[in-house]
Structure 1
Amino acid sequence: MILESVEHGPLIWPTVEENGVIRTKKYAELSAAEKIQADCDMKATNIILQGLPTDIYSLVNPHRVAKDLWERVHLLMQGTSLTKQERECKLYDAFDKFTHIKGESLHTYYLRFTQQIKDMNIYKMNMEQFQVNTKFLNSLPPKWSKFVTDVKLVKDFHTSNFDKLQAYLEQHELHANEVHIMRERHQDPLAFIANQQMTPPHFNPYQSSYNNPQLQQ
């Protein structure tokens, strides 16, 4: 009967009409067979939950009925053929390649980074706080460079966590966006100088008529 709960779903609790109102029967009002089935439904859910790895357990809803719970677990467990070492390698690689996505807000960036660290912590891949903080700041786009420098000067990377760093940066997000807009509106000074150097000499607006025979005529 426990297996039936997993494969076909739990007992559909019968109803009863009382004072013109239809309600679901209480456990005490069930028949003997129905009570056994209800008990088996609960046992099936408990058996599934007790056998789950910690990382999978944190991703499921323990209040689901056995059939729905098992289907969710089955989906999550499809990737468990990977060894722990392979999973760690993938997570380290993802951490190493983690970077800001163009157009992404600071808050969204922070949430993605938080999930990355959470996934690593599940496998007890704990890193030095200094390393985590440095990665969080150095992966931000150039518009944050001034504020990142400020943070590095005033914050202790060995004791602060990236949650505090994000809270500080969030206070200056409006200014950082303004800096980004200003940079987009104005040409890069180096590119401007290079462009001027490529201009043919006879178009030089600063060349005087004294040095130009054609203009002297």
Structure 2
Amino acid sequence: MTTLAEFMIITGADNRPPMLEKSMYDSWKIRMELYIENRENGRMILNTVLNGPLVWPTIDEENGTTRTKKYEELSVAEKLQADCDLKATNIVLQGLAPDVHAIVNHHKVTKEI
């Protein structure tokens, strides 16, 4: 009889992304895409991984200068996308072994990782 803990190890826990093994990148990539798509707002998160993050809109100030909007100034949809961008980076970094993480930890954009 298989225990619950053994079953979770065999099937893979849903709360952790698949871990990258250096020699198995293609398999990991497919499993990671499925894992991401299964998350809340998964298609938006996967879009960030594949195409890069939201380019934050800018606004013109009265004096003619342009600045990037602050998070608080974003629309509801823009905030959702910004949150998905952050989730994408978090998910991919959690799926990396410590030695691989050390190589890419200076990147902040998921697509670069």
**TM-score band w.r.t. shorter chain:** 0.5 to 0.7
Matches of 2:92 and 2:80 in 1, distance apart?
18
Matches of 2:45 and 2:92 in 1, distance apart?
11
Matches of 1:46 and 1:62 in 2, distance apart?
13
Larger Rg: 1
* Aligned pairs (5 A) from 1:81-96: none
4+ residue runs over 4 A deviation: none
Q: Unmatched 5+ residue regions in structure 2? A: 1-43
Matched, 1:53 2:90: no
Query: Partner residue of 2:68?
Result: 24
Q: Unmatched 5+ residue regions in structure 1? A: 70-217
1:36 is matched by which residue type in structure 2? L
Counterparts in 2 of 1:25 and 1:13: CA distance versus 1, 3 Å: same
The superposition leaves residues 122-151 of structure 1 with CA deviations (integer Å, 9 ceiling, x where unpaired) of: xxxxxxxxxxxxxxxxxxxxxxxxxxxxxx
Q: CA deviation at 1:64?
A: 2.0
Higher relative contact order (CA 8 A, sep 6+): 2
Q: Which secondary structure state, in structure 2, belongs to the residue aligned with residue 10 of structure 1?
A: coil
* Aligned pairs (5 A) from 1:1-217: 1-19=44-62, 20-69=64-113
Matches of 1:40 and 1:62 in 2, distance apart?
20
For the 8 Å contact 1:5–1:40, the answer to whether it is kept is yes
Q: CA deviation at 1:61?
A: 2.8
Q: CA deviation at 1:62?
A: 4.4
The superposition leaves residues 79-128 of structure 1 with CA deviations (integer Å, 9 ceiling, x where unpaired) of: xxxxxxxxxxxxxxxxxxxxxxxxxxxxxxxxxxxxxxxxxxxxxxxxxx
Q: Which secondary structure state, in structure 1, belongs to the residue aligned with residue 59 of structure 2?
A: strand
The structure where helix makes up a greater share of residues is 1
Matches of 1:12 and 1:68 in 2, distance apart?
15
Matches of 2:81 and 2:96 in 1, distance apart?
23
Q: CA deviation at 1:21?
A: 1.0
2:51 is matched by which residue type in structure 1? H
What's the RMSD between the two structures over aligned residues? 1.1
The percent identity for this pair of structures is 62
